[in-house]
Structure 1
């Protein structure tokens, strides 16, 4: 086998393994609302005021979230998506 073919096959295998493990990593995390400090949210907020990470304006806004290890949100005094939805009403 040529060296370039071997390198390409190895790279393809590594990429496949990385992509296959991504859902497992995501399954180990959960969204936790109300714990993000200003500018430290992970993505869009629940109210639709913005759609990007790092755009929260105040600390501990109940519509802003961060990914945390599954099962740790309550320890941080955070809310689930359902609880956050009820809290903003």
Structure 2
């Protein structure tokens, strides 16, 4: 009986340590945001519009409905020749061409 109590306590301690490690690694990562229209064809993180499933499925460079995760606060400073402003957008947009 004493052995099973020790095993239980060891399991509780191990579970707590895993939880602390996960919290520490999440805290060390910088905040990120979705930035539309900045990825190259096939290099988006997700949401590449109709006919695509998810990451790596954008069909053209700077696709307006495909996003990439970027450090928070940098999206609207990144080049996007297809966006209305010439920079990344925080929401999907219809690309300008030509």
TM-score range, shorter chain: 0.5 to 0.7
Q: Deviations over 1:28-66 (max 9, x none)?
A: 111100001111110122x33212211112111111110
Please identify which structure carries the higher helix content. Answer: 1
**Structure 2: which 5+ runs fail to align?**
79-86
- 2:56 matched residue in structure 1: 54
Contact 2:35–2:90, Cα closer than 8 Å, also in 1: yes
What is the TM-score of this pair, normalised by structure 2?
0.62
Q: 1:67 aligned to 2:69?
A: yes
- 2:45 matched residue in structure 1: 42
Return the alpha-carbon distance in structure 2 between the equivalents of residues 11 and 49 of structure 1: 45
Aligned length: 82
Q: Which runs of 4+ in 1 moved over 4 A?
A: 19-26
2:90 counterpart (77, 80, 83): 80
Q: Deviations over 1:4-49 (max 9, x none)?
A: 852x3344224434269759958x111100001111110122x332
RMSD between aligned alpha carbons? 3.1
Greater RCO, CA 8 A, separation 6+ = 1
What is the TM-score of this pair, normalised by structure 1?
0.67
